Structure 1
Amino acid sequence: MIDLHCHVDLYPEPASILREVDARGTHVLAVTTTPKAWRGTRKLVGARKRVKVALGLHPELVAQRYGEVALLCDLLPEARFIGEIGLDGSPAHRSSLGLQQEVFERILEASAKLGGRIMSIHSRGAATLVLDGLERHRGAGVPILHWFTGTVSELERAIGMGCWFSIGPAMFQSKKGRDLASRMPLKRVLTETDGPFARNGRNAIMPWQAYDCLEGLASLTGGEPEELKQQVQENFRSLSTAL
Structure 2
Amino acid sequence: MIGLIDTHFHLDMYKKYDEIFQYLEVEKQYTLCMTNSPGVFLSCRDLFQNSKYVKFALGFHPLNADLTSKDINDFVHLLKYTNYVGEVGLDFTRKKGIEKNKQLVFFDKIMALCAYQNKIISVHIRGAEEEAVQIISKYNPKRCILHWYTGSVIMQEQFIKLGCYFSINANMLQRMEIIDRIPKNKLLIESDGPYSKVNGKKYEPQFLIKIYELIARSMNDPDLIQRVYSNFKELLEK
Q: Say yes or no: TM over 0.5.
A: yes
Is the 8 Å Cα contact of residues 170 and 215 (structure 2) preserved in structure 1? no
**Structure 1 pair 200–228 and aligned structure 2 pair: CA distance change class (3 A):** closer
Q: In 2, distance between residues paired with 1:85 and 1:213?
A: 24
> Are the structure 2 counterparts of residues 9 and 180 from structure 1 closer, same or farther at C-alpha, using a change threshold of 3 Å?
same
> Would you say the 8 A contact 2:115–2:139 is kept in 1?
yes
- What corresponds to 1:23 in structure 2? 26
Cross-structure match for 1:44: 47
- In the TM superposition, residue 141 of structure 1 has moved relative to its aligned partner by 4.2
1:235 matched to 2:231: yes
Query: How is 1:123-134 mapped onto 2 (pairs within 5 angstroms)?
Result: 123-134=125-136
Structure 1 SS opposite 2:110: helix
Distance 1:151 1:120 in 2: 19
In structure 1, give the amino acid aligned to 2:216. Answer: A
Q: When the two structures are superposed, what TM-score results if normalisation uses the length of structure 2?
A: 0.91
CA distance 1:186–1:103, shift in 2 (3 Å): same
Unaligned runs of 5+ in 2: none
Distance change in 2, residues 1:78/1:95 (3 Å):
closer
The alpha-carbon distance between structure 1 residues 80 and 94, as it changes in their structure 2 partners (threshold 3 A), is closer
**Are the structure 2 counterparts of residues 47 and 95 from structure 1 closer, same or farther at C-alpha, using a change threshold of 3 Å?**
closer
Q: What TM-score results when the alignment is normalised by the length of structure 1? A: 0.89
Question: Which whole-Å CA distance do the structure 1 matches of 2:26 and 2:191 have between them?
Answer: 18
Deviation of 1:201 (Å): 6.5
Q: 2:14 aligns with which of 1, 11, 18?
A: 11
Partner of 2:139: 137
CA distance in 1, matches of 2:53, 2:107: 28
Say which SS state the counterpart of residue 87 (structure 1) adopts: strand
Separation (CA, whole Å) in 2 of partners of 1:156 and 1:196? 29
Deviation at 1:170, TM superposition (A): 2.1
CA distance in 2, matches of 1:53, 1:95: 23
| Residues 168, 190 of structure 2: 8 Å contact kept | yes
CA distance in structure 2 between the partners assigned to 1:150 and 1:218 by the alignment: 22
Long gaps (5+) in structure 1: none
Query: What is the correspondence of 1:190-229 to structure 2 with a 5 Å cutoff?
Result: 190-200=188-198, 203-224=201-222, 227-229=223-225
RMSD across aligned positions (CA):
1.9
CA drift of 1:95 comes to 7.5
2:187 counterpart (182, 189, 194): 189
Aligned residues: 234
